[in-house]
Amino acid sequence: MIMNGLYICGDLHNDVKAILKWNEYVENSVILQVGDLGWNAFDCFNVANKLAKKGNSLYAIRGNHCQLKFKGQTYGDNNNVKLLADYSVIEVNGLKILGIGGGISLDRRMRLEFELKYPHVHNYYDHDEAFKLHEGFLESVRNIDILVTHTAPNYLVPNLRPGFVEKFAQHDPNLMDDLELERKNWRKAFDILRENNDLKACIHGHFHVDYETKFEGVNIIGLGIDTVFEYQ
């Protein structure tokens, strides 16, 4: 049984199995989820109570496919599942972690059209899904060790299938420009943060690929769906 660990989990998209499996092998540990959790409130309470039996906690940031709003609310009798608001800072095992969520959906046009056609279906498309750049906060925050995000800056180029994004852009004329701007803003956020912090790692999801690399001295870790990574 592993105790007092720090773990990071990739996109879940409504699934709880990866977290419950992780919970079988660890105690008194924390797992951070990088967005696209997809759970409803019942899922959050159910998982929270199972984690509590082992002394484990889950913190999640928002993605672009989420049923719930992320405003710092907690679930479970021990408040051990928490949906972090953007730009939340937590401390785990002496490490200061900044979580920033959000990202543009490639299929946003389809989701919007579905919402208009079926207005009774709630939370199918989050109109506020994109990453928000807050330069003032980033310039003021100090001693951040790990940055956990949903999407990634433009210095990282995920290996997507040729024509994959363009397929969605055929029906969404502003998609390519919006994606480029979002990732440029993420690069700006990363650069500002590095000026005043000794960043050890930047960990993200969204692209559903597992990889590790290094950029300007910072460990970069991308996580695929259901991937659980132990940070050491």
Q: Write the pLDDT tens digit of every residue in 154-179.
A: 777 665 556 788 889 999 999 999 99
What pLDDT is recorded for position 163?
79
pTM: 0.94
| Cα–Cα distance measured from residue 152 to residue 139, given in angstroms and rounded to the nearest whole number | 19
Q: Cα torsion at 203, 204, 209, 213 (round to 10°)?
A: -40
Continuous segment of H or E residues that includes residue 146: strand 146-149
pLDDT band at 1 (very low <50, low <70, confident <90, very high): low
Please report the pLDDT score of residue 121 as a whole number.
73
Provide the pLDDT for residue 127.
87
Rounded to the nearest 10 degrees, what angle do helices 17-25 and 41-52 cross at? 10
According to CATH, the topology of domain 2-231 is Purple Acid Phosphatase; chain A, domain 2 (3.60.21)
